[in-house]
Amino acid sequence: MNSNILKQLEEFRNTWPVEEAVQYRVTRPSADFIGEEILEMAVMALLDGENLLLVGNKATGKNILAENLAWLFGRPIYNMSFHVNTDSAALIGTDTFENNEVKLRRGPVYRCAQYGGFGILDEINMAKSDAVAVLHAALDYRRLIDVPGYERISLHPATRFIGTMNYGYAGTKELNEALVSRFMVIQVPTLSQEDLNRLMDQTAPGMDFSMLDQFSSLFLDLQEKAVNGEISSRAVDLRGLLSALRMIKQGLSPARAIEMGIVNKCFDDFERQLVDDVVLTRFPLTLTAGDVFHG
């Protein structure tokens, strides 16, 4: 990232310090995002006051990118995972009874607006229409939230929203034009083998170089089979793979770690056997944790 962008990031953090009450929400991401050009594009858009929509297939690192952006800007994170039962009240807030009074229990979008947070709208294409409709005024030039029965609040100048969406999940739908127009959109590309190796080495350093290639090749094999319709995308689980590597580093056998992190994500017996066969072509049952990591 060039020095001019880094300078602007520093100015942003200095201009909008985080309130002590939400300092605990400023968290270091579990891994660095691999993809300097995409990261730079995203940072420039957010510095310009835009909201982002990260689009791509499963296991491209969209959530890791969102977490890295919040960390670079030094902002508290508010995660909102959308599903068919997410409604406007879950985002803005609901009535609660406190000290013999009806008060608003503030939701994540309200608190994000209040404290200048980065709101991560995960799987936004699974949301019901009334849930995202309440975001329209927050996402466009008005930058405000109208809370029915309470008040209208303006967004903190540092508040940004980052939506993520995968293709082809059950329950997903096309986003309407009015919502998409409120974001700058970034297509997050599929990770290459080199990028996978870098990510795995960051997550569980000390792995033998030949083993790095084996694990990344396994992931790419499963990804190709999912694209070709031979298996579902359940086994194409980057989080599961990285978790398996951490457990292997702790001493668990590779076979057991991969079984928990990858194979057992398939609940259909036939599909699970197919995935297991793919795993065995690269990782024999006799392989030990000491064979994977140095020392």
Judge if 41 and 56 occupy the same domain: yes
Q: CB–CB of 72/9 below 8 Å?
A: yes
Answer with the residue of higher pLDDT: 84 or 19. 19
**pLDDT(169) > 60:** no
Query: Domain of 245?
Result: 193-292
One domain for residues 179 and 286? no
Q: Which residues, 6+ apart, have CB-to-CB distance to 130 below 8 Å? A: 87, 88
The predicted-structure confidence for 94-146, as pLDDT tens digits, reads as follows 767 666 676 767 888 889 999 999 999 988 888 777 777 778 888 888 888 87
Q: What is the pLDDT of residue 183?
A: 93
What pTM was computed for the model? 0.84
Q: Are residues 225 and 94 in the same domain?
A: no
Please report, for the domain that includes residue 152, its CATH number. 3.40.50.300
Q: What's the rounded Cα separation, in Å, for the pair 139 and 158?
A: 13
Domain closes at, from 187, 218, 237: 187
Of the residues 134, 166, 187, which one is the last residue of a structural domain?
Answer: 187
Q: Please give the pLDDT value at position 102.
A: 65
With 70 as the cut, is the pLDDT of residue 28 above it? yes
Same domain, 270 and 156: no
With contact defined as beta carbons under 8 Å apart, do 145 and 93 qualify? no
Confidence at 59, pLDDT banded by 50, 70, 90: confident
Domain count, the chain: 2
Quickly state the pLDDT bin for 56 (edges 50, 70, 90): confident
Asked if residue 170 has pLDDT above 60, the reply is no
Are 200 and 182 within one domain?
Answer: no
Query: Of 252, 246, 220, which Cα lies nearest the Cα of 235?
Result: 220
pLDDT > 70? residue 150: no
